[in-house]
Structure 1
Amino acid sequence: MTISEKLYNQLQEVLNGEPWYGDPVYTILDRISFEAAYEKPAGSVHSIAGIILHMTGWAEEVMDRMNGMKAQLPVRGDWPEPGLPDEQKWKWIVEDIKLVNVNLAGFIQDFPEEKWGETVEGKDPGQTYEYQVTGLIQHYIYHSAQIALLNRMING
């Protein structure tokens, strides 16, 4: 199995497969009402909508790096503010992360196999393209658990 195939399969498993640790990202998102998406339970720093915007921004940043751009913070910012609760905007946020991940999956599939071990411009040695995508997948796992817990705090 190539690195591209391995990373593509891992991404798909985390997004909408059957990962061994629990529910995939999209299953968790399907359970979130727009009201819950914007709520910040006591002690929470971010809302679910804010976390999804953060995840989307970092996926875009990883794709920019795969396109040869120098590593930086996401163009949207690290933690974009989701604004006031809005049902249509929540639907857009969910659709946007799904579209970004379709694009990311395509980037992974088309990425030259010989480049996976190269260092990302602006990062320390060892911060390869493979490392970046693996880290993004881990980032998704972390935040999907955070989203699931926030939703449980909000909805009991």
Structure 2
Amino acid sequence: MNIAELISRHLLDVYAGPNWTEVNLKSTLEGITFEEASQTTPASANTIAGLVHHLAFWNRVMAQRSRGEKVEIPESNGFDNSPLANEDH
């Protein structure tokens, strides 16, 4: 297997399992409601939706870099998403 295949396999395992963490995004996020995804707690200003946006941001950055593109990382570090307005956005 070449490095691109290994990275692809790793990302798929993190998404759908199994992987070294013994959890995966797909089953962890399954059944999360809009309200839960957009809720903050006293322990953190982050929301589930914001953290998923952050993961997607960095996946895009890594894909661009793997194609040799120079990527400017904003000061927000991928945490610049707007709050969810509804279940579709």
TM over 0.5: yes
Which structure: larger Rg? 1
Q: Name the counterpart of 1:6.
A: 6
User: What is the distance in 2 between the residues matched to 1:86 and 1:65?
Assistant: 32
Aligned: 1:28 with 2:28? yes
Q: Which string of whole-angstrom CA distances, capped at 9 and with x for unpartnered residues, describes residues 101-134 of structure 1?
A: xxxxxxxxxxxxxxxxxxxxxxxxxxxxxxxxxx
Q: Name the counterpart of 1:72.
A: 72
Deviation, structure 1 residue 20: 4.1
Matches within 5 A, 1:9-88: 9-73=9-73, 78-88=78-88
Change (3 A) 1:71 1:85: closer
Residue type at the aligned position of 2:58: W
Q: Which is helix-richer, 1 or 2?
A: 1
Structure scoring higher RCO (CA < 8 A, sep ≥ 6) equals 1
Deviation, structure 1 residue 79: 0.5
Spell out structure 1 runs of 4+ moving beyond 6 A: none
Residue type at the aligned position of 2:32: I
User: What is the distance in 1 between the residues matched to 2:39 and 2:70?
Assistant: 35
User: What is the distance in 2 between the residues matched to 1:49 and 1:82?
Assistant: 10
User: What is the distance in 1 between the residues matched to 2:58 and 2:85?
Assistant: 23
Q: Cα RMSD over matched residues?
A: 2.2
User: What is the distance in 1 between the residues matched to 2:69 and 2:56?
Assistant: 17
Deviation, structure 1 residue 28: 1.0
Residue type at the aligned position of 1:19: N
| Gap regions ≥5 residues in structure 2 | none
User: What is the distance in 1 between the residues matched to 2:27 and 2:45?
Assistant: 23
User: What is the distance in 2 between the residues matched to 1:51 and 1:10?
Assistant: 19
| Gap regions ≥5 residues in structure 1 | 90-156
Task: Give SS of 1:88's match.
Answer: coil
Percent identity of equivalent pairs: 27
Deviation, structure 1 residue 38: 0.4
